Amino acid sequence: MALNGKRILLIIGGGIAAYKSLDLIRRLRERGAAVRPIMTAGACEFITPLAVGALAADKVFTELFSREDEQDVGHIRLARDCDLIIVAPATADLMAKMASGLANDLASTVLLATHRKVLLAPAMNPAMWSHKATSRNVAQLRDDGIHFVGPETGEMAESGEAGRGRMSEPLAIVAAAEALLDEAPKPLVGRHAIVTSGPTHEPIDPVRYIANRSSGRQGHAIAAALARLGCSVTLVTGPVTLPDPAGVETKHVETAREMMAAVEAALPADIAVMVAAVADWRTVFDEGHKIKKQANAAPPALQLVENPDILKTIGHHAQRPKLVVGFAAETDDVEQNGRAKLARKGADLIVANDVGHGTGVMGGARNQVHILTPEGTDTWPDLDKDEVAARLAKLIADKLAT
Ligand SMILES: Cc1cc2nc3c(=O)[nH]c(=O)nc-3n(C[C@H](O)[C@H](O)[C@H](O)COP(=O)(O)O)c2cc1C
Protein backbone atom coordinates (compact mmCIF):
# COMPACT_ATOMS: atom_id res chain seq x y z
CA MET A 1 0.00 0.00 0.00
CA ALA A 2 3.02 2.30 0.44
CA LEU A 3 2.95 3.29 -3.25
CA ASN A 4 -0.75 4.09 -3.47
CA GLY A 5 -1.19 7.75 -4.45
CA LYS A 6 2.57 8.40 -4.53
CA ARG A 7 4.30 10.32 -7.33
CA ILE A 8 7.36 8.58 -8.71
CA LEU A 9 9.82 10.36 -10.95
CA LEU A 10 11.41 7.57 -12.98
CA ILE A 11 14.74 8.41 -14.65
CA ILE A 12 15.65 5.90 -17.34
CA GLY A 13 19.37 5.71 -18.17
CA GLY A 14 21.03 4.50 -21.35
CA GLY A 15 21.63 0.82 -20.69
CA ILE A 16 20.38 -2.37 -22.22
CA ALA A 17 18.25 -2.98 -19.11
CA ALA A 18 16.11 0.05 -20.12
CA TYR A 19 13.60 -2.43 -21.56
CA LYS A 20 12.88 -3.63 -18.01
CA SER A 21 11.86 -0.11 -17.01
CA LEU A 22 8.76 -0.53 -19.21
CA ASP A 23 7.59 -3.35 -16.95
CA LEU A 24 8.66 -1.32 -13.90
CA ILE A 25 6.28 1.48 -14.97
CA ARG A 26 3.40 -1.04 -15.16
CA ARG A 27 4.23 -2.52 -11.75
CA LEU A 28 4.40 0.91 -10.10
CA ARG A 29 1.10 2.00 -11.65
CA GLU A 30 -0.61 -1.28 -10.68
CA ARG A 31 0.14 -0.32 -7.08
CA GLY A 32 -1.50 3.07 -7.45
CA ALA A 33 1.60 5.22 -8.08
CA ALA A 34 1.72 7.96 -10.71
CA VAL A 35 4.87 7.69 -12.83
CA ARG A 36 6.48 10.69 -14.52
CA PRO A 37 9.35 9.62 -16.78
CA ILE A 38 12.61 11.33 -17.68
CA MET A 39 14.74 9.64 -20.33
CA THR A 40 18.40 10.39 -21.01
CA ALA A 41 19.55 10.71 -24.61
CA GLY A 42 21.16 7.28 -24.13
CA ALA A 43 17.87 5.75 -22.94
CA CYS A 44 16.16 6.97 -26.15
CA GLU A 45 18.63 4.83 -28.10
CA PHE A 46 17.33 1.68 -26.37
CA ILE A 47 13.57 2.25 -25.96
CA THR A 48 11.24 4.86 -27.38
CA PRO A 49 9.69 7.79 -25.50
CA LEU A 50 6.45 6.75 -27.21
CA ALA A 51 6.36 3.39 -25.42
CA VAL A 52 7.40 4.95 -22.10
CA GLY A 53 4.83 7.73 -22.36
CA ALA A 54 2.04 5.32 -23.32
CA LEU A 55 2.73 3.05 -20.35
CA ALA A 56 3.18 5.92 -17.91
CA ALA A 57 0.17 7.82 -19.31
CA ASP A 58 2.22 11.00 -18.88
CA LYS A 59 4.52 13.25 -20.84
CA VAL A 60 8.10 12.01 -21.18
CA PHE A 61 10.76 14.61 -20.36
CA THR A 62 14.03 14.39 -22.28
CA GLU A 63 15.40 17.93 -22.75
CA LEU A 64 17.02 20.31 -20.29
CA PHE A 65 16.94 23.28 -22.64
CA SER A 66 13.26 22.99 -23.50
CA ARG A 67 11.64 26.37 -24.17
CA GLU A 68 8.22 24.95 -23.47
CA ASP A 69 9.03 23.15 -20.20
CA GLU A 70 11.40 25.77 -18.81
CA GLN A 71 8.88 28.64 -18.92
CA ASP A 72 8.22 27.80 -15.27
CA VAL A 73 11.72 26.34 -14.53
CA GLY A 74 10.52 22.82 -15.28
CA HIS A 75 13.63 20.98 -14.10
CA ILE A 76 13.23 22.32 -10.55
CA ARG A 77 9.53 21.45 -10.61
CA LEU A 78 10.34 17.90 -11.72
CA ALA A 79 12.89 17.60 -8.90
CA ARG A 80 10.32 18.69 -6.29
CA ASP A 81 6.91 17.48 -7.45
CA CYS A 82 7.46 13.85 -6.54
CA ASP A 83 7.68 11.60 -3.48
CA LEU A 84 10.57 9.47 -4.70
CA ILE A 85 13.02 9.42 -7.62
CA ILE A 86 13.92 6.02 -9.05
CA VAL A 87 16.81 5.73 -11.52
CA ALA A 88 16.47 2.47 -13.46
CA PRO A 89 18.69 1.54 -15.08
CA ALA A 90 21.28 3.65 -13.29
CA THR A 91 24.23 3.65 -15.70
CA ALA A 92 27.87 3.91 -14.64
CA ASP A 93 27.85 7.28 -16.37
CA LEU A 94 24.85 8.64 -14.44
CA MET A 95 26.30 7.46 -11.12
CA ALA A 96 29.64 9.11 -11.93
CA LYS A 97 27.85 12.37 -12.72
CA MET A 98 25.84 12.20 -9.51
CA ALA A 99 28.89 11.37 -7.38
CA SER A 100 30.73 14.41 -8.71
CA GLY A 101 27.77 16.79 -8.81
CA LEU A 102 27.61 17.22 -12.57
CA ALA A 103 24.44 18.66 -14.07
CA ASN A 104 24.81 18.68 -17.84
CA ASP A 105 21.53 17.11 -18.96
CA LEU A 106 17.97 16.97 -17.62
CA ALA A 107 18.44 13.74 -15.59
CA SER A 108 21.64 14.83 -13.81
CA THR A 109 20.32 18.37 -13.22
CA VAL A 110 17.12 17.06 -11.61
CA LEU A 111 19.15 14.64 -9.48
CA LEU A 112 21.32 17.53 -8.25
CA ALA A 113 18.33 19.80 -7.62
CA THR A 114 16.20 17.36 -5.63
CA HIS A 115 15.69 17.00 -1.88
CA ARG A 116 13.62 13.84 -2.34
CA LYS A 117 14.81 10.31 -1.63
CA VAL A 118 16.63 8.75 -4.59
CA LEU A 119 16.71 5.01 -5.31
CA LEU A 120 19.24 3.71 -7.85
CA ALA A 121 18.93 0.36 -9.65
CA PRO A 122 22.36 0.02 -11.25
CA ALA A 123 22.82 -2.08 -14.38
CA MET A 124 26.06 -2.56 -16.23
CA ASN A 125 28.65 -5.00 -17.42
CA PRO A 126 30.39 -6.73 -14.45
CA ALA A 127 33.73 -5.17 -15.43
CA MET A 128 32.15 -1.72 -15.25
CA TRP A 129 30.49 -2.50 -11.88
CA SER A 130 33.70 -3.82 -10.29
CA HIS A 131 35.86 -1.00 -11.70
CA LYS A 132 37.52 1.04 -8.97
CA ALA A 133 35.97 4.24 -10.31
CA THR A 134 32.44 2.80 -10.04
CA SER A 135 33.16 1.43 -6.53
CA ARG A 136 34.36 4.89 -5.50
CA ASN A 137 31.24 6.51 -6.94
CA VAL A 138 28.93 3.99 -5.24
CA ALA A 139 30.64 4.55 -1.88
CA GLN A 140 30.31 8.33 -2.35
CA LEU A 141 26.63 8.08 -3.29
CA ARG A 142 25.86 5.83 -0.29
CA ASP A 143 27.60 8.39 1.88
CA ASP A 144 25.42 11.09 0.29
CA GLY A 145 22.30 9.18 1.41
CA ILE A 146 21.41 7.69 -1.97
CA HIS A 147 19.61 4.31 -1.76
CA PHE A 148 20.46 1.26 -3.87
CA VAL A 149 18.67 -1.87 -5.02
CA GLY A 150 20.93 -4.48 -6.65
CA PRO A 151 22.67 -5.05 -8.93
CA GLU A 152 22.17 -8.81 -9.01
CA THR A 153 24.55 -11.54 -10.05
CA GLY A 154 23.67 -13.51 -13.17
CA GLU A 155 23.82 -13.59 -16.94
CA MET A 156 24.11 -10.32 -18.83
CA ALA A 157 22.11 -9.36 -21.91
CA GLU A 158 25.39 -9.52 -23.88
CA SER A 159 25.97 -13.13 -24.85
CA GLY A 160 28.61 -15.02 -22.86
CA GLU A 161 28.84 -12.36 -20.13
CA ALA A 162 27.95 -13.14 -16.52
CA GLY A 163 28.69 -11.71 -13.08
CA ARG A 164 27.42 -8.93 -10.84
CA GLY A 165 25.76 -6.10 -12.74
CA ARG A 166 22.26 -7.27 -13.75
CA MET A 167 19.56 -4.77 -12.91
CA SER A 168 17.21 -5.99 -10.16
CA GLU A 169 13.89 -7.28 -11.43
CA PRO A 170 11.04 -4.74 -11.50
CA LEU A 171 9.29 -6.35 -8.51
CA ALA A 172 12.46 -6.08 -6.40
CA ILE A 173 12.73 -2.39 -7.35
CA VAL A 174 9.06 -1.93 -6.42
CA ALA A 175 9.73 -3.61 -3.04
CA ALA A 176 12.68 -1.29 -2.40
CA ALA A 177 10.55 1.74 -3.32
CA GLU A 178 7.77 0.55 -1.02
CA ALA A 179 10.27 0.16 1.82
CA LEU A 180 11.50 3.73 1.30
CA LEU A 181 8.00 5.20 1.21
CA ASP A 182 6.63 3.06 4.03
CA GLU A 183 5.43 5.35 6.79
CA ALA A 184 4.37 2.53 9.14
CA PRO A 185 5.88 2.53 12.65
CA LYS A 186 9.49 1.33 12.84
CA PRO A 187 9.82 -0.25 16.31
CA LEU A 188 13.14 -1.94 15.47
CA VAL A 189 15.12 1.19 14.53
CA GLY A 190 18.54 0.98 16.21
CA ARG A 191 18.37 -2.83 16.48
CA HIS A 192 20.57 -5.29 14.58
CA ALA A 193 19.34 -8.75 13.55
CA ILE A 194 21.22 -11.68 12.05
CA VAL A 195 19.03 -13.96 9.95
CA THR A 196 20.17 -17.19 8.28
CA SER A 197 18.34 -18.62 5.30
CA GLY A 198 18.39 -21.34 2.67
CA PRO A 199 20.16 -24.68 2.65
CA THR A 200 23.85 -25.35 2.99
CA HIS A 201 25.81 -27.34 0.43
CA GLU A 202 28.35 -29.80 1.80
CA PRO A 203 30.85 -30.83 -0.87
CA ILE A 204 31.67 -34.45 -1.59
CA ASP A 205 34.11 -33.49 -4.33
CA PRO A 206 34.38 -30.46 -6.65
CA VAL A 207 31.16 -31.36 -8.54
CA ARG A 208 28.95 -33.15 -6.02
CA TYR A 209 27.44 -32.01 -2.76
CA ILE A 210 24.89 -32.90 -0.08
CA ALA A 211 21.99 -30.45 0.11
CA ASN A 212 18.34 -30.20 1.18
CA ARG A 213 15.12 -28.81 -0.26
CA SER A 214 15.13 -25.45 1.54
CA SER A 215 14.44 -22.57 -0.90
CA GLY A 216 15.26 -19.69 1.46
CA ARG A 217 11.81 -18.13 0.95
CA GLN A 218 10.94 -18.09 4.65
CA GLY A 219 14.32 -16.79 5.82
CA HIS A 220 14.51 -14.10 3.13
CA ALA A 221 10.94 -13.01 3.93
CA ILE A 222 11.82 -12.69 7.63
CA ALA A 223 14.94 -10.63 6.85
CA ALA A 224 12.81 -8.29 4.67
CA ALA A 225 10.03 -8.08 7.30
CA LEU A 226 12.51 -7.12 10.07
CA ALA A 227 14.06 -4.50 7.76
CA ARG A 228 10.58 -3.05 7.12
CA LEU A 229 10.26 -2.47 10.87
CA GLY A 230 13.44 -0.39 10.76
CA CYS A 231 15.87 -3.13 11.85
CA SER A 232 19.38 -3.26 10.43
CA VAL A 233 19.57 -6.82 9.12
CA THR A 234 22.50 -9.05 8.16
CA LEU A 235 21.20 -11.98 6.14
CA VAL A 236 23.55 -14.96 5.85
CA THR A 237 22.24 -17.18 3.10
CA GLY A 238 23.20 -20.51 1.65
CA PRO A 239 22.84 -21.11 -2.11
CA VAL A 240 19.36 -19.97 -3.24
CA THR A 241 17.85 -18.65 -6.45
CA LEU A 242 16.13 -15.71 -4.74
CA PRO A 243 17.26 -12.08 -5.17
CA ASP A 244 18.81 -10.39 -2.14
CA PRO A 245 16.02 -8.67 -0.18
CA ALA A 246 15.87 -4.88 -0.48
CA GLY A 247 17.45 -2.94 2.35
CA VAL A 248 19.21 -5.98 3.84
CA GLU A 249 22.97 -6.62 3.96
CA THR A 250 23.30 -10.09 2.44
CA LYS A 251 26.28 -12.44 2.83
CA HIS A 252 26.43 -15.50 0.57
CA VAL A 253 27.94 -18.74 1.87
CA GLU A 254 27.88 -22.40 0.86
CA THR A 255 28.73 -24.67 3.77
CA ALA A 256 27.61 -24.89 7.39
CA ARG A 257 31.10 -23.94 8.54
CA GLU A 258 31.10 -20.84 6.33
CA MET A 259 27.64 -19.93 7.65
CA MET A 260 28.82 -20.31 11.25
CA ALA A 261 31.81 -18.04 10.58
CA ALA A 262 29.66 -15.40 8.83
CA VAL A 263 27.10 -15.39 11.68
CA GLU A 264 29.83 -14.98 14.32
CA ALA A 265 31.46 -12.23 12.26
CA ALA A 266 28.12 -10.36 12.19
CA LEU A 267 27.86 -10.26 16.01
CA PRO A 268 27.01 -8.31 18.13
CA ALA A 269 23.29 -8.33 17.43
CA ASP A 270 20.05 -7.82 19.37
CA ILE A 271 18.20 -10.53 17.48
CA ALA A 272 19.20 -13.83 15.86
CA VAL A 273 16.68 -15.67 13.69
CA MET A 274 18.23 -18.93 12.56
CA VAL A 275 15.99 -20.08 9.72
CA ALA A 276 18.53 -21.83 7.46
CA ALA A 277 18.24 -25.56 6.99
CA VAL A 278 21.86 -26.17 7.97
CA ALA A 279 23.19 -29.61 7.07
CA ASP A 280 23.73 -31.57 10.29
CA TRP A 281 26.58 -33.48 8.70
CA ARG A 282 29.30 -33.04 6.11
CA THR A 283 31.43 -35.72 4.54
CA VAL A 284 34.94 -36.39 5.76
CA PHE A 285 35.95 -36.27 2.10
CA ASP A 286 37.59 -33.12 0.96
CA GLU A 287 38.61 -34.39 -2.40
CA GLY A 288 40.30 -31.90 -4.67
CA HIS A 289 39.28 -34.00 -7.68
CA LYS A 290 36.13 -35.73 -8.89
CA ILE A 291 35.74 -39.21 -7.40
CA LYS A 292 35.76 -41.61 -10.34
CA LYS A 293 33.47 -44.61 -10.77
CA GLN A 294 35.68 -47.70 -10.69
CA ALA A 295 34.79 -50.77 -12.77
CA ASN A 296 33.72 -53.69 -10.53
CA ALA A 297 34.42 -51.69 -7.36
CA ALA A 298 31.96 -50.97 -4.55
CA PRO A 299 30.60 -47.39 -4.43
CA PRO A 300 32.58 -45.11 -2.09
CA ALA A 301 31.20 -45.03 1.46
CA LEU A 302 30.12 -41.54 2.50
CA GLN A 303 31.53 -41.13 5.97
CA LEU A 304 29.84 -38.24 7.76
CA VAL A 305 30.96 -35.94 10.55
CA GLU A 306 28.86 -33.47 12.50
CA ASN A 307 28.71 -29.83 11.42
CA PRO A 308 28.77 -26.95 13.90
CA ASP A 309 25.35 -26.36 15.48
CA ILE A 310 24.81 -22.68 14.64
CA LEU A 311 21.65 -22.14 16.70
CA LYS A 312 23.12 -23.84 19.78
CA THR A 313 26.41 -21.93 19.44
CA ILE A 314 24.57 -18.60 19.22
CA GLY A 315 22.15 -19.59 22.02
CA HIS A 316 25.12 -20.10 24.39
CA HIS A 317 27.49 -17.49 22.95
CA ALA A 318 29.41 -14.99 25.09
CA GLN A 319 27.85 -12.32 22.80
CA ARG A 320 24.41 -13.99 22.82
CA PRO A 321 21.80 -11.72 21.19
CA LYS A 322 19.00 -10.66 23.51
CA LEU A 323 16.46 -12.65 21.51
CA VAL A 324 17.40 -15.96 19.87
CA VAL A 325 14.84 -17.53 17.55
CA GLY A 326 15.31 -20.97 16.02
CA PHE A 327 13.38 -22.95 13.45
CA ALA A 328 12.56 -26.63 13.89
CA ALA A 329 11.72 -28.39 10.65
CA GLU A 330 10.25 -31.70 11.76
CA THR A 331 8.43 -34.56 10.10
CA ASP A 332 7.12 -36.25 13.31
CA ASP A 333 6.00 -35.05 16.73
CA VAL A 334 6.53 -31.49 15.53
CA GLU A 335 5.61 -29.69 18.75
CA GLN A 336 7.33 -32.13 21.08
CA ASN A 337 10.57 -32.13 19.09
CA GLY A 338 10.45 -28.35 18.75
CA ARG A 339 9.98 -27.91 22.49
CA ALA A 340 12.96 -30.19 23.25
CA LYS A 341 15.02 -27.99 20.90
CA LEU A 342 14.00 -24.82 22.78
CA ALA A 343 15.86 -25.87 25.94
CA ARG A 344 18.71 -27.75 24.28
CA LYS A 345 19.69 -24.91 21.94
CA GLY A 346 19.36 -22.05 24.40
CA ALA A 347 16.68 -20.35 22.25
CA ASP A 348 13.93 -17.99 23.49
CA LEU A 349 11.49 -19.02 20.81
CA ILE A 350 11.23 -21.90 18.36
CA VAL A 351 9.15 -21.75 15.21
CA ALA A 352 8.24 -25.40 14.62
CA ASN A 353 6.80 -26.58 11.33
CA ASP A 354 5.92 -29.87 9.70
CA VAL A 355 8.04 -30.35 6.60
CA GLY A 356 6.98 -33.93 5.90
CA HIS A 357 6.11 -35.25 2.43
CA GLY A 358 2.95 -33.71 1.07
CA THR A 359 3.07 -30.54 3.23
CA GLY A 360 4.83 -28.60 0.44
CA VAL A 361 6.50 -26.39 3.06
CA MET A 362 10.12 -26.94 1.93
CA GLY A 363 10.44 -24.93 -1.26
CA GLY A 364 6.75 -23.90 -1.20
CA ALA A 365 5.03 -20.54 -0.68
CA ARG A 366 3.04 -21.35 2.46
CA ASN A 367 3.83 -22.40 5.99
CA GLN A 368 1.90 -23.51 9.05
CA VAL A 369 3.85 -22.96 12.23
CA HIS A 370 3.70 -23.39 15.99
CA ILE A 371 5.33 -20.65 18.06
CA LEU A 372 6.94 -22.35 21.04
CA THR A 373 8.14 -20.34 24.04
CA PRO A 374 8.76 -21.34 27.67
CA GLU A 375 5.33 -19.80 28.38
CA GLY A 376 3.39 -21.96 25.93
CA THR A 377 2.45 -22.73 22.33
CA ASP A 378 0.68 -20.54 19.81
CA THR A 379 -0.44 -22.31 16.64
CA TRP A 380 -0.82 -20.01 13.62
CA PRO A 381 -3.06 -20.85 10.68
CA ASP A 382 -1.71 -21.93 7.30
CA LEU A 383 -0.28 -18.66 5.91
CA ASP A 384 1.77 -17.30 3.04
CA LYS A 385 5.46 -17.22 4.07
CA ASP A 386 5.46 -13.41 3.77
CA GLU A 387 2.58 -13.26 6.27
CA VAL A 388 4.39 -15.64 8.66
CA ALA A 389 7.42 -13.34 8.34
CA ALA A 390 5.41 -10.17 9.02
CA ARG A 391 3.77 -11.72 12.11
CA LEU A 392 7.06 -13.06 13.43
CA ALA A 393 8.80 -9.69 12.94
CA LYS A 394 5.97 -8.00 14.87
CA LEU A 395 6.21 -10.62 17.64
CA ILE A 396 9.99 -10.06 17.86
CA ALA A 397 9.46 -6.28 18.09
CA ASP A 398 6.84 -6.78 20.85
CA LYS A 399 9.15 -9.12 22.81
CA LEU A 400 12.05 -6.66 22.63
CA ALA A 401 9.78 -3.81 23.76
CA THR A 402 8.84 -5.61 27.01
C1 LIG B 1 24.73 -1.54 -26.63
C2 LIG B 1 25.12 -0.73 -25.42
C3 LIG B 1 24.77 -1.14 -24.17
C4 LIG B 1 25.13 -0.42 -23.05
N5 LIG B 1 24.75 -0.86 -21.81
C6 LIG B 1 25.11 -0.17 -20.71
C7 LIG B 1 24.73 -0.61 -19.43
O8 LIG B 1 24.04 -1.62 -19.28
N9 LIG B 1 25.12 0.10 -18.35
C10 LIG B 1 25.86 1.23 -18.47
O11 LIG B 1 26.21 1.82 -17.45
N12 LIG B 1 26.22 1.69 -19.68
C13 LIG B 1 25.87 1.02 -20.81
N14 LIG B 1 26.25 1.49 -22.04
C15 LIG B 1 26.99 2.75 -22.14
C16 LIG B 1 26.06 3.93 -21.96
O17 LIG B 1 25.03 3.90 -22.92
C18 LIG B 1 26.82 5.24 -22.08
O19 LIG B 1 27.73 5.35 -20.99
C20 LIG B 1 25.91 6.44 -22.10
O21 LIG B 1 26.71 7.60 -22.15
C22 LIG B 1 25.03 6.50 -20.86
O23 LIG B 1 24.25 7.66 -20.89
P24 LIG B 1 23.31 8.09 -19.69
O25 LIG B 1 24.02 7.77 -18.43
O26 LIG B 1 23.12 9.55 -19.88
O27 LIG B 1 22.04 7.35 -19.87
C28 LIG B 1 25.88 0.77 -23.19
C29 LIG B 1 26.21 1.21 -24.46
C30 LIG B 1 25.85 0.48 -25.57
C31 LIG B 1 26.23 0.99 -26.92
Among positive and negative, which fits the CA dihedral 276, 282, 285, 291? Answer: negative
Assign residue 64 the CATH number of its domain.
Answer: 3.40.50.1950
Q: Is 92 in the pocket of ligand 1 (CB under 6 A)?
A: yes
CA-to-CA distance for 195 and 327, rounded, in angstroms?
Answer: 11
Q: Are residues 227 and 153 in the same domain?
A: no
Q: Are residues 204 and 172 in the same domain?
A: no
> For ligand 1, what atom is nearest to the CA of residue 14?
27
Alpha carbon of 15 to ligand 1 centroid (Å): 4
Is 186 part of any domain? Answer: no
Q: Is 6 annotated as a binding residue?
A: no
Q: Is 95 in the pocket of ligand 1 (CB under 6 A)?
A: no
Predicted confidence at residue 246, as pLDDT, reads 79
Q: Are residues 105 and 235 in the same domain?
A: no
Q: Is 15 in the pocket of ligand 1 (CB under 6 A)?
A: yes
Domain that holds residue 22: 7-181
Predicted confidence at residue 362, as pLDDT, reads 66
Q: Is 91 in the pocket of ligand 1 (CB under 6 A)?
A: yes
Residue 211, judged by CB atoms within 10 A of its CB (0-12, 13-18, 19+), counts as: middle
| Domain count along the chain | 2
Q: Are residues 299 and 343 in the same domain?
A: yes
Is 187 part of any domain? Answer: no
Q: Is 321 in the pocket of ligand 1 (CB under 6 A)?
A: no
Predicted confidence at residue 113, as pLDDT, reads 93
Residue with CA nearest ligand 1 atom 11? 91
Q: Is 327 annotated as a binding residue?
A: yes
Alpha carbon of 353 to ligand 1 centroid (Å): 48
Q: Among all residues, which ones are annotated catalytic?
A: 212
Q: Is 165 in the pocket of ligand 1 (CB under 6 A)?
A: no
For helices 385-401 and 217-228, the axis angle rounded to 10 degrees is: 50
Q: Is 293 annotated as a binding residue?
A: no
Alpha carbon of 400 to ligand 1 centroid (Å): 47
Q: Are residues 209 and 304 in the same domain?
A: yes
Q: What is the dihedral of CA 300, 260, 246, 15, to 10 degrees?
A: -60
The answer to whether 223 touches 236, Cβ cutoff 8 Å, is no
Instruction: Encode burial over 169-179: b for 16+ CB neighbours within 10 A, e otherwise.
Output: bbebbbbbbbb
Can you spell out the DSSP letters for 313-355? HHHT-TT--SEEEEEEEESSSHHHHHHHHHHHHT-SEEEEEE-
Q: Is 248 in the pocket of ligand 1 (CB under 6 A)?
A: no
Q: Are residues 267 and 162 in the same domain?
A: no
Is 342 part of any domain? Answer: yes
Q: Is 122 in the pocket of ligand 1 (CB under 6 A)?
A: no
Assign residue 387 the CATH number of its domain.
Answer: 3.40.50.10300
Please say which residue of 181, 215, 240 terminates a domain. Answer: 181
Q: Is 285 annotated as a binding residue?
A: no
Residue with CA nearest ligand 1 atom 31? 15
Q: Is 312 annotated as a binding residue?
A: no
Predicted confidence at residue 72, as pLDDT, reads 63
DSSP state, residue 113 = H
Q: Is 23 annotated as a binding residue?
A: no
Q: Is 39 in the pocket of ligand 1 (CB under 6 A)?
A: no
Helix, strand, coil percent values for the chain (each to nearest 5): 35, 25, 40
Alpha carbon of 127 to ligand 1 centroid (Å): 13
Q: Is 148 annotated as a binding residue?
A: no
Alpha carbon of 161 to ligand 1 centroid (Å): 16
Alpha carbon of 134 to ligand 1 centroid (Å): 14
Q: Are residues 177 and 207 in the same domain?
A: no
Q: Are residues 283 and 204 in the same domain?
A: yes
Is 1 part of any domain? Answer: no
Q: Are residues 113 and 247 in the same domain?
A: no
> For ligand 1, what atom is nearest to the CA of residue 167?
8
CA-to-CA distance for 258 and 307, rounded, in angstroms?
Answer: 11
Predicted confidence at residue 129, as pLDDT, reads 96
Predicted confidence at residue 357, as pLDDT, reads 61
Per-residue pLDDT of the chain (402 residues; tens, 9 = 90+): 788 999 999 999 999 999 999 999 999 999 999 999 999 999 999 999 999 999 999 999 988 777 677 666 677 888 888 999 999 999 999 999 999 999 999 999 999 999 999 999 999 999 999 999 999 999 999 999 999 998 988 777 777 777 889 999 999 999 999 988 987 888 999 999 999 999 999 999 889 999 999 999 999 999 999 998 999 999 999 999 998 887 899 999 999 999 999 999 999 999 999 999 999 999 987 667 888 888 888 888 889 999 999 999 999 999 999 999 999 987 778 788 888 899 899 999 999 987 766 666 666 778 889 999 999 999 999 999 999 999 999 999 999 998
Which of 330, 318, 317, 373 minimizes the C-alpha distance to 348?
A: 373
Alpha carbon of 123 to ligand 1 centroid (Å): 9
Q: Are residues 210 and 131 in the same domain?
A: no
> For ligand 1, what atom is nearest to the CA of residue 97?
25
